[in-house]
A and B are shown apart, each in its own frame.
Chain A
Amino acid sequence: MSHPYRDLPPAAFWRTAVSDINPLETTDLWTPRHDLKPDDQVVTFGSCFAQHISRALRRHGFSWLDCEPGADFVSEALRSRFNYGVFSARTGNIYSAKALLQWVQWSLGQATPPDEAWERKGRYYDPFRPAIEPDGFASAAEMLASRQQTLDAFARCIRESDVFVFTLGLTESWENIAGGYTYATCPGTNAGTFDPDSHVFRNYTCAEVQDHLEQALTLIRAENPKVRILLTVSPVPLTATAAGKHVVVSTTYSKSVLRAVAGAVSDAWDHVDYFPSYEIITAPSFRGMFYDPNMRTVAGRGVDFVMSHFMAGVSGTAPGTAPDVTEGAAKPAAPPPDRAPAGALDEPDDIKCEEQILEAFARH
């Protein structure tokens, strides 16, 4: 008797793909929908975990586009401290689909960004990238000028990229009630002042996240019809939740929504692909082995494992066998920089994550 399961490959069956093998020898986790050529211009944005993708691309000789390199003569350590070279423009982490939509709209002139500035001890912070300057800006005007540079760079990323990688991180967010815009972190944590009359908590639904994401991708494609989109979901659980539930429950909600949206969008849109970084870390077959002891942050071996599958997918090789060139510093949109190899900054601890500030507010 013939049926659809008869000729499926081993990867389609739990026993042959999972139970009968060493989990570290799992293969065929991802087959890219589109080829990624070494000279394709790739930009990366999103939550903390997105930073691993840009590093892996650089390390393996792919063209990661840096549209806001800062300065080509300073050290990688200094550039990193000021968040240059972390993402393809100096946006800091973009945790939610709504935040991505804002960056797209603002950079393309579809909406005007608020001139709100957060102040702390005489220094000024950008509500949409509050940790971008380690000690804040000298003035609100300097902060706004810097943001405009980033918006210009972000627009160039949209226009000049062949592949736009975005890692979805959170559904929970804090919004300005009057303006309807979302912040990168809760006001009053990194900087600024929390005002219950002005600020409201949102935990976006599946429909809202999908709407935000599709709006953003529509604008990106309208500006650059050739760009392909690669979505991922961060496997890093929430640092804290304001949803009134246990953080484990909130994490499951958040990641489930993001994973469902990423799947729905990538299934429906031909130019969108999904890379399963979330599954590679969180699947039960991996027994949580890739997390640090806090069971939140992903250990270096986990990052390596995820990235080996990413590179295996794009290079068509077995995981862990893609060549490591360790010379591919970012391809700058500006004159070529003279800087240290990307590998010099490849320690997982270097990952920038504004959300972690919330941990400081735990009472116990």
Chain B
Amino acid sequence: MSKICILGNSHLGALAQSEAGAKAFEAAGHDVVYWGAAGTLFPKITYKDGRLISPAPSRSRIISGGRYGHLDLDDFDTLLVYGGSVPLSNAAARIAARMTTLAPLSGAFRTAALNEQIALWWQDRPAGALMQAMIDAHPEKRYIFTPDPLMARNDAYLARISDPVLLRQVLDAMYMHCQTWCDTRGIGFYRQNEHTLAEGRLTTHPSFSTNSVKMEKGEAHPDEDFVHMNGSYGDVVMADLLTLVQSPEQAVRAAG
């Protein structure tokens, strides 16, 4: 039986809600452990001497069903970084707003500026440094990464978007940057499943966000929470991730 750790932040709650996903992984011979830290704690996870050190081990232990305060990487064959404080929606909106000011300038400059903005954004993502530390120390293991899901459709977010086409271009470029980063390190990359997106492909369909629950306590998120997804979303992702995990080689493109 292979051992898989799905580590991440509060978005793990959607996956943990997926009973179908859990059964499918088990049936396929995979022992899945969830582990991580929510919110601002995730960026404080560090790697040291073969372990991921949690800034709040007691809470990380709850997430892992009582198994791990800190995470011993040697216990796992596959490490799947899910979310990892890589929220695309707000960053894409911010970058797109900046890019609109460059509209009169040449396409080559705009492209270079966009790529630079995305590179700077990614440089600040803690997930990148964490994955790099793990892969440097344990290159024999299998790694898969996926950013946070896009924000669920809501009026407040859409009101910030003056150019939906540009926002979509920015999002695509961000996904491409993440995928290229992963490809060069032999890390599998999972891009959000198109079937979970709302019309316009800028946000997640709201049906995947209602009744989402918190990772640690199982309590419902407030109704106005458009960031976290529910068990239905978890079903889609778990099915995709199983496909990816079962693939004979590292996936080189998104399963979604």
Closest chain A residue, CB of each to CB of B102: A71
- Which residues of B are found within 8 Å of A138, using beta-carbon distances? 106-108
Known A-B contacts A73-B117, A74-B116, A78-B113; A137 and B108 likewise in contact (beta carbons under 8 Å): yes
A-B contact pairs, 30 of them (CB 8 A): A70-B105, A70-B109, A71-B101, A71-B102, A71-B105, A73-B117, A74-B112, A74-B113, A74-B116, A74-B117, A75-B116, A78-B112, A78-B113, A78-B116, A82-B106, A82-B109, A82-B112, A133-B106, A133-B109, A134-B108, A135-B108, A137-B106, A138-B108, A142-B106, A142-B107, A145-B104, A146-B105, A146-B106, A149-B104, A149-B105
> A129 in the interface, Cβ–Cβ < 8 Å?
no
A362 to chain B, nearest CB (A): 30
Known A-B contacts A71-B101, A73-B98, A73-B117; A81 and B112 likewise in contact (beta carbons under 8 Å): yes
Determine the distance from Cα of A332 to Cα of B116 in the docked complex, in whole angstroms.
Answer: 22
B101 to chain A, nearest CB (A): 7
- Which residues of A are found within 8 Å of B116, using beta-carbon distances? 74-75, 78
Listed from nearest, the 6 A-B pairs whose CB atoms lie closest are A74-B113, A82-B109, A138-B107, A73-B98, A78-B116, A71-B102
A235 to chain B, nearest CB (A): 32
Report, as a range, how many residues of chain A touch the other chain: 10 to 19
Q: Which B residues from 85 to 130 make CB contacts under 8 A with A?
A: 98, 101-102, 104-109, 112-113, 116-117
Determine the distance from Cα of A122 to Cα of B102 in the docked complex, in whole angstroms.
Answer: 23
- Which residues of B are found within 8 Å of A133, using beta-carbon distances? 106, 108-109
B→A interface (CB under 8 Å): 98, 101-102, 104-109, 112-113, 116-117
Q: Which A residues from 232 to 282 make CB contacts under 8 A with B?
A: none
Determine the distance from Cα of A73 to Cα of B118 in the docked complex, in whole angstroms.
Answer: 12
- Which residues of B are found within 8 Å of A135, using beta-carbon distances? 108
- Which residues of B are found within 8 Å of A136, using beta-carbon distances? 108
Contacts A137-B106, A138-B108, A142-B107 known; 5 new A-B pairs at CB < 8 A: A70-B105, A73-B113, A138-B106, A138-B107, A146-B106
- Which residues of B are found within 8 Å of A75, using beta-carbon distances? 116
- Which residues of B are found within 8 Å of A73, using beta-carbon distances? 98, 113, 117
Mask, A51-88, CB within 8 Å of B = 1, is 00000000000000000001101110010011000000
- Which residues of B are found within 8 Å of A146, using beta-carbon distances? 105-106
A→B interface (CB under 8 Å): 70-71, 73-75, 78, 81-82, 133-138, 142, 145-146, 149
- Which residues of B are found within 8 Å of A82, using beta-carbon distances? 106, 108-109, 112
B32 to chain A, nearest CB (A): 42
- Which residues of B are found within 8 Å of A71, using beta-carbon distances? 98, 101-102, 105, 109, 113
- Which residues of B are found within 8 Å of A70, using beta-carbon distances? 105, 109
Determine the distance from Cα of A127 to Cα of B130 in the docked complex, in whole angstroms.
Answer: 49
Determine the distance from Cα of A145 to Cα of B109 in the docked complex, in whole angstroms.
Answer: 14
Determine the distance from Cα of A137 to Cα of B47 in the docked complex, in whole angstroms.
Answer: 46
Most A CB contacts (10 A, CB to CB) among B101, B105, B107, B112 go to B105
- Which residues of A are found within 8 Å of B106, using beta-carbon distances? 82, 133, 137-138, 142, 146
Most A CB contacts (10 A, CB to CB) among B106, B108, B113, B117 go to B106
- Which residues of A are found within 8 Å of B98, using beta-carbon distances? 71, 73
B15 to chain A, nearest CB (A): 36
Determine the distance from Cα of A108 to Cα of B200 in the docked complex, in whole angstroms.
Answer: 45
Determine the distance from Cα of A22 to Cα of B14 in the docked complex, in whole angstroms.
Answer: 78
Determine the distance from Cα of A75 to Cα of B116 in the docked complex, in whole angstroms.
Answer: 8
A94 to chain B, nearest CB (A): 20
Determine the distance from Cα of A133 to Cα of B109 in the docked complex, in whole angstroms.
Answer: 8
Determine the distance from Cα of A12 to Cα of B102 in the docked complex, in whole angstroms.
Answer: 54
Most B CB contacts (10 A, CB to CB) among A73, A142, A149 go to A73
Determine the distance from Cα of A71 to Cα of B114 in the docked complex, in whole angstroms.
Answer: 11
- Which residues of A are found within 8 Å of B117, using beta-carbon distances? 73-74
Closest chain B residue, CB of each to CB of A146: B106
Determine the distance from Cα of A81 to Cα of B104 in the docked complex, in whole angstroms.
Answer: 18
- Which residues of A are found within 8 Å of B104, using beta-carbon distances? 145, 149
Determine the distance from Cα of A78 to Cα of B109 in the docked complex, in whole angstroms.
Answer: 8
- Which residues of A are found within 8 Å of B109, using beta-carbon distances? 70-71, 82, 133
Determine the distance from Cα of A71 to Cα of B103 in the docked complex, in whole angstroms.
Answer: 11
Determine the distance from Cα of A135 to Cα of B108 in the docked complex, in whole angstroms.
Answer: 8
Determine the distance from Cα of A81 to Cα of B111 in the docked complex, in whole angstroms.
Answer: 13
Determine the distance from Cα of A241 to Cα of B247 in the docked complex, in whole angstroms.
Answer: 64
Determine the distance from Cα of A70 to Cα of B113 in the docked complex, in whole angstroms.
Answer: 10
A145 to chain B, nearest CB (A): 7
Determine the distance from Cα of A75 to Cα of B118 in the docked complex, in whole angstroms.
Answer: 13
Closest chain A residue, CB of each to CB of B115: A78
Determine the distance from Cα of A133 to Cα of B113 in the docked complex, in whole angstroms.
Answer: 14
B117 to chain A, nearest CB (A): 7
Closest chain B residue, CB of each to CB of A84: B109
Determine the distance from Cα of A287 to Cα of B203 in the docked complex, in whole angstroms.
Answer: 68
B64 to chain A, nearest CB (A): 41
- Which residues of B are found within 8 Å of A78, using beta-carbon distances? 112-113, 116
Determine the distance from Cα of A74 to Cα of B108 in the docked complex, in whole angstroms.
Answer: 14
Determine the distance from Cα of A322 to Cα of B113 in the docked complex, in whole angstroms.
Answer: 36
